[in-house]
Amino acid sequence: MEGVRVRFAPSPTGYLHIGGLRTALYNYLFAKHNNGKFILRIEDTDRTRYVEGAIENLINSLNWAGIKYDEGVFVEEGKIVQRGEYGPYIQSERLDIYKKYVDELIEKGYAYYCFCTKERLDKVREEQKIKGLIPRYDGLCRSLSLEEAREKIANGEEYVVRLKLPPNRDIKFKDLVRGDIIINTEDLDDQVLLKSDGFPTYHLAVVVDDHLMGITHIVRGEEWLPSTPKHVYLYEAFGWEKPTYVHLPTVLNKERKKLSKRHGDVSVEDFRKKGYLPEGLVNYLALVGWTPEDNREILSMEELIEEFSFERVSKTGGIFDIDKLNWVNGHYIRGYDLDKLTDIAIPFLKEAGFIDDEFINERYEWLKILVATVREGLSNVSEIVDKVDIFFNDKVEVEDEEALEVLKWEETPTVLNALKEEVENAQEITEELSKTIMKKIQKSTGVKGKKLFMPVRVALSGKIHGPELVSIIYLLGKQNVLKRIKYIENNHLK
């Protein structure tokens, strides 16, 4: 597809929502699939909702997820910078541009000044509700001449500028996901285009920016679908060619309701803090509303780019299933570069109080083996804290009924005594010793199979299932193995 240009245009109102990340991802995949350009623009015209630091968070989240954009707003050396030939890419820096186009619409008769107070508008809407009508502006100021309006402005009256929609007119456009859409202007409102504070509304700014930045495809959430006819009409009013529209299904929870903070994690930051890998989250998120032709569930970013098309995006909301995310993320954890995975795990181990900087410097290789030992059972990296506590305690509590039964076996004291002797005779437990020690115990005791392995596992971990026994023995080290055997002997074998 020639000259594809798409944009992700979030508002800096807080952390990036998981639904926003999916919108950015689909824009990125479509652009890269078509050798096009992907732009990041910041829509900050609603100053009442602006959150300090939100732009940096948005950019950091996109970078973390591996969603690279070609032009727009960047963070470099802690500063916000803009790169590209269509800037500024921050809407609050484009106010003069919007004013020029608002004036053009007024001169052409496609927009008008409105002087109605908030109190009057509230009263009109209340009356409409009582009559069972759709609340909308009643058009009182549409009939004002330009001269009358300018006189009011000269007298200091506060105003907004509204779009003047034609009566009873079908507005048509094609959506790549939903097909042909027709909405009559009788079902629409004379939208405010310029607010009383001089800032444009989303509806004006988005049309002006998308046109001037050469955007060919507008890919956004379906919540904007009711506004699109107004945007299409604005393109017509300006005499511009309208872009192609793509409205994505909403990301829903298992109850088929919109994801919200009340129901758990919803921001990219939430998932990042829990130790989800960017590859796992992006892979899963791509599948929330889209499927590849062969229905594969594990796809790298390169494979997603190769496979992606809007033809396979669902019309209905995509269900965000945390269990499925955990499955996908677990797959990536098991195959992840061990050094990278260890570095991701370290902050969780530090926060739990298991390790400090000195420990990390002195025993980084040990930490890598620890991570490799427990990674099989992880669906996110934060879970490592619960999996490794057995390696940081002097004793182990045996609470499981089956594990307690193992300690009652006739062979258990013999096996544990043989283990104790082997460990006491060793200067330290090396990786080599941990691999051969069970064979030595088998040879000296004649005990084999589960009667050999189960007592050792329960004595050292308190459980009958878990990481490989070789790793447990090595990671615990000489002193901890001896302490645990002694604890079991004193509390369970007497």
Walk across the sheet containing 37-40 and list its strands.
5-8, 37-40, 71-76, 79-83
User: What average pLDDT does this structure show over 162-178?
Assistant: 96
Residues belonging to the chain: 494
**Which H or E run includes 112?**
strand 111-114
Report phi then psi at 193, rounded to 5: -105, -35
Indicate the domain borders of the chain: 5-81+251-323, 94-248, 336-389, 401-492
Element (H, E) at 6: strand 5-8
Which three-class secondary structure state does DSSP give residue 114?
strand
Single out the residue of 154, 163, 249, 258 nearest to residue 201, CA to CA.
163
Question: Tens digit of pLDDT for each residue in 289-333?
Answer: 999 999 999 999 999 999 999 999 999 988 999 999 999 999 999
- Is 72:209 a contact under the CB 8 Å cutoff? no
- Dump strand ranges (E) for 213-273: 217-221, 244-248, 251-252
| Range with the poorest average pLDDT among 240-244, 251-255, 263-267, 429-433 | 263-267
Give the right CATH number for 401-492 from 3.10.180.10, 1.10.10.350, 3.40.50.11540, 1.10.10.10.
1.10.10.350
How far apart are the C-alpha atoms of 470 and 468, rounded to whole Å? 5
- Predicted confidence band of residue 264 (pLDDT cuts 50, 70, 90): low
Contact 114, 201 (CB under 8 A): no
What is the spatial distance between Cα 62 and Cα 206, in angstroms, rounded to a whole number?
A: 21
Q: Give the pLDDT confidence score for residue 253 in this predicted structure.
A: 84
pLDDT of residue 136 exceeding 60, the answer is yes
Q: Name the phi and psi angles at 200, rounded to 5.
A: -75, 160
Render pLDDT for 401-458 as a digit per residue (tens, 0 to 9): 998 899 999 999 999 999 999 999 999 999 899 999 999 999 999 999 999 999 999 9
Assess whether pLDDT exceeds 60 at residue 371: yes
In this structure, the strands spanning 170-175 and 79-83 are: unpaired
Handedness of CA 450, 456, 460, 462 (dihedral sign): positive
The answer to whether 94-248 and 401-492 have equal CATH topology is no
Residue 50 has a pLDDT of 84
- Distance CA(374)–CA(457), nearest Å, equals 15
For 84-114, what is each residue's pLDDT tens digit? 999 999 999 999 999 999 999 999 999 999 9
**CATH fold for the domain made of 94-248:** Rossmann fold (3.40.50)
CA dihedral 254, 378, 19, 52 (to 10 degrees): 130
* Residue 17, amino acid: H
Nearest to 463 by CA among 413, 378, 397: 397
CA 480 to the chain's CA centroid:
41
Nearest alpha-carbon partner for 228 in 200, 251, 207: 207
**% of residues, the chain, pLDDT over 70:** 98
* Digit-coded pLDDT (tens) for 181-198: 999 999 999 999 999 999
> Among 122, 124, 46, which residue's Cα sits nearest to residue 91?
46
Q: Of 67, 36, 26, 42, which Cα lies nearest the Cα of 247?
A: 26
Look at residue 263 and tell me whether its pLDDT is greater than 90: no
C-alpha dist (Å) from residue 481 to 67, 341, 446: 47, 27, 22
What band does 49 get if pLDDT is binned at 50, 70 and 90? confident
Residues 275 and 383 sit within 8 Å (Cβ to Cβ): yes
Q: How far apart are CA 279 and CA 453, in angstroms?
A: 37
Specify the DSSP class assigned to residue 7.
Answer: E
Number of helices and strands in the chain (H, E): 20, 13
Active-site residue set: 261
b/e per residue 116-132 (b: at least 16 CB within 10 A): beeeeeeebbeeeeeee
Q: Are 44 and 294 in contact (CB under 8 A)?
A: no
Residue keyed to tokens 């990296």:
381
pLDDT above 60 (res 1): no
The answer to whether residue 266 scores a pLDDT higher than 90 is no
pLDDT at 256 over 80: yes
Strands (E), 306-410: 318-319
Q: Which pLDDT score, from 0 to 100, does residue 262 have?
A: 57
| pLDDT score, position 101 | 98
Regarding beta strands 111-114 and 160-163, do their DSSP bridges make them parallel or antiparallel, or are they unpaired? antiparallel
Tokens of 192: 């405010």
Classify domain 5-81+251-323 at the CATH class level.
Answer: alpha beta
CA dist 31 and 37 (Å) reads 6
Would you tell me how many other CB atoms lie within 10 Å of the CB of residue 357?
9
Average pLDDT taken over every residue of the chain: 94
pLDDT at 288: 96
- Separation of first and last alpha carbons in the chain: 78
Instruction: Retrieve residue 209's tokens.
Output: 């920016």
Question: Is residue 261 very low, low, confident or very high in pLDDT (cuts 50, 70, 90)?
Answer: low
- SS3 helix, strand, coil % of the chain, rounded to 5? 55, 15, 35
8-state DSSP, 488: H
pLDDT confidence of residue 265: 63
Q: What's the CATH number of domain 336-389, 1.20.120, 1.10.8, 1.10.357, 1.10.287? A: 1.10.8
* Mean pLDDT to the nearest integer, 131-159: 94
> Cα–chain-centroid distance for residue 434?
41
